[in-house]
Structure 1
Amino acid sequence: MPKYLVEIPHSEKVSDCMHVINVFLSSGSHIISQAHWGCKDGVHKMWFIYDFDNKEQVMQSIPPLMRPSAQIVELNKFRVEDVAQYATE
């Protein structure tokens, strides 16, 4: 199953941080328990990494209010063999 990184930015106002948290909590999304926040370090974004079947499933896990600003990235790992293959091309 593919693994996805999701990033959801918000403004640096404390009220916006709380708003994003409350939107996730009130939506019943289980993703909030997997979230990492950069707010205390001045990076006003929320991230989570989670396994999903596809990007559509990722989008459905995000509350509608947060979807327009969400960035979704499918993650992968490269093995040494993979890197060697690209070096010879």
Structure 2
Amino acid sequence: MPTYLVEIPHSETVSECKKVINVFLNSGSHIISHAHWGCKDGVHKMWFIYDFEDKESVLRAIPPLMRPQAQVIELVKFRVEDVRLYTAD
């Protein structure tokens, strides 16, 4: 199953941080328990890395209010042999 990194930015106020949390909690989305937050360091974004069937499944797990801001990235691990193929001249 593919692994995805999801980044969702929000504005730099405490009330906006709380709003994002409440949107996820009120939607019933379970991924909030996997979220990492940058707010304490002044980076007002949340991230989570999670396995999903596909990008559509990722988007369904994100509350509709947060979907327009969400960036969804499929993560891939390359083996050393794979990297050598791309760097060989």
**Range into which the TM-score falls when normalised by the shorter chain:** over 0.9
How far is the alpha carbon of 1:39 from its aligned partner?
0.3
Equivalent residue, structure 1, for 2:41: 41
**Which residue is equivalent to 2:88?**
88
Structure 1 residue 76 and structure 2 residue 76: aligned?
yes
**Correspondence for 1:12:** 12
CA shift for structure 1 position 88:
2.3
2:60 maps to: 60
What displacement does 1:38 show? Answer: 0.4
Quote the residue 1:3 is aligned against.
Answer: 3
Q: Distance in 2 between matches of 1:54 and 1:70?
A: 15
Q: Deviations over 1:13-49 (max 9, x none)?
A: 1100000000000000000000000001100000000
Q: 1: CA distance between counterparts of 2:87 and 2:10?
A: 39
The separation in 2 between residues aligned to 1:88 and 1:43, in whole angstroms, is 38
Which ranges in structure 2 are unaligned for 5 or more consecutive residues?
Answer: none
Structure 1 vs Structure 2 CA RMSD: 0.7
- The code of the aligned residue for 2:12 comes to E
TM-score normalized by the length of structure 2 = 0.97
Report the Cα distance in structure 2 between the residues aligned to 1:52 and 1:39, rounded to whole angstroms.
Answer: 26
- Number of aligned pairs? 89
Aligned to 2:24: 24
5+ residue gaps, structure 1, are none
Task: Give TM-score scaled by structure 1 length.
Answer: 0.97
